[in-house]
Amino acid sequence: MTATPHVESAGNRIILHFDKLDQALRLMHPWPGDKLRADAAIRITKALEAVGLIVEVRVNGRPIAEMGAGGVHGSLMKLIAATL
């Protein structure tokens, strides 16, 4: 069962709120394997940077990932990027 996140925006920031970590991890499900996930994260980040957007992922109110202007940040994104 896929839970749809609560979505809010503030300026150029899109915030995805999830209740559970496994729900947030499903964002990267379309790309099986560490290398493909890392590549997808980098490509998505570059696309967001090109249009000046930031996507932040939160679980239980805590930020775990940020993609966009300034690159890739957060504990979840560091794990994904480290697989390159």
User: Tens digit of pLDDT per residue, the chain (84 long)?
Assistant: 457 899 999 999 999 999 988 888 777 666 676 677 778 778 888 999 999 999 999 999 999 888 887 777 677 665 555 444
CA distance 33 to 11: 33
Alpha carbons within 13 A on the beta-carbon side of 41: 29
Contact present, 7 and 47 (Cβ < 8 Å): no
Q: What count of residues does the chain have?
A: 84
- Which pTM was predicted? 0.76
Backbone conformation region of residue 70, classed left if phi is above 0, alpha if psi is from -120 to 50, else beta: left
